[in-house]
Structure 1
Amino acid sequence: MIRSIRACKTAAEERAVVRKECASIRAAVSDNDNDYRHRNLAKLMFIHMLGYPTHFGQMECLKLIAAPGFPEKRIGYLGLMLLLDERQEVLMLVTNSLKQDLNHTNQYIVGLALCALGNISSAEMARDLAPEVERLLQFRDPNVRKKAALCSIRIIKKVPDLAENFVEPVASLLKEKHHGVLLTAIQLCADLCIVSEEALEYFRKKDLKAAAALIKIQTILLGGVNSPFAPEYDIAGIADPFSK
């Protein structure tokens, strides 16, 4: 399909190819074709990026997300983030699937759900799924903790009333050695202070450990070449050469 579209020399030819492909995908949707559902959704995402309407494929995203396999979920969540936004009513139908995937035993599926929630979460979804995201801030894998922190930023912006739930968990993240987790934790702290006076007061006066952790981070960053050695961030024998 992509080769056919790129081979078109005029806009009319491109529209004809897209109409033909969309008709084929509509037929597959009507026939409930499970074998090629992920491929059809990938085609729809490309068509969407070209600017053509693809609303008829929104339910296919939900079906792929509900599938048990990781490849199907990956395409489903990607389609969800691309083809839908928080204003779509159909988005509420995916809340249960998101909740199940946030509690999944596979950390990669958990990561997919966090990415989707962090990109398209509505206020209602944020309220329903905030406890799961708060729990994942203490997950064993640092990549999941990083994504949970990013998702928490979206949640507190959508529902500032939930900010107090994330104050204590994010304070513990300031002791992290993983740079991705540390960066997202600092950003989450900053956003918490913006949306909540209580959080600002907490970090400013009550939680001296959090303040000490921030001062230690600043000292390490300002130290530049004298930063503690971390093999995963080593470039030509220097840890964090761009930290300044």
Structure 2
Amino acid sequence: MMTLTTFSEKQTDSKVYVYWRVGTKRGGVLDVTLSFEHSDSALIAELYAIQHLLFVELVLGREPGSGNGYRLTVSKGAIKKLALGRSDKKYAFKYSSFLRNRMAGVTIEVSQSKDFLPVLNDSLTEVLTVDSTDIASEVHSINTPTMGQLKITKHAVEQYVSRLSSGKPKNPWLSLVKRLQHPRLCRSLLTDKVRQHKVRKYGTADNIEEWRHPDDEFRFLVLKDGDTRTLVTSYPRC
């Protein structure tokens, strides 16, 4: 099981050191400064650090497609409760949404041990200044062979699951991503009904694309803004 260990140490209500390691020899320190103050800055910063390490730094060697096969050893028990949807820290749910969708199924352990963690003055320190919208973002980007970079919102994942006739997949995020990353995905024509609906909603349908697999009636509607594409919705079309 691939394991990322993090330990957050509060300095002020906006400044936190997050120590991390993978194995016993790789690690570092993130010097996280929040653009706002919060008494639980250590929890918020550790949640952001985990996302940064997993999806930006790729410290586990690749970008996780789900939480299966991964373990997070964290210093705050609230992180485990948030992943299970059982925490009373309601304000933190928006900061931890990635644990319940993109990393659904991840194993989380809580530990206060600092064994093998790097020492602040002896380790490479990365300075991060983050805004609340960065931490609470429920939009994640993936690379696809046909559409290029595609943004996926939490809402789009929920819609995908609700419209599957085969029932809820074990890992909704991974199921959706696998479909979107299929190399045979191609453009298809919007029906008049869909086009009219999008004109009413967005004022135009010229920036709406419909994508599908040639052997599958499930459709994906994508909003194109310049070089940026965002999944709007998905549905089966008979």
Bigger share in helix: 1
One fold, TM greater than 0.5?
no
Higher relative CO (Cα under 8 Å, sequence separation at least 6) belongs to 2
Bigger share in strand: 2
- Pair member with larger Rg: 1
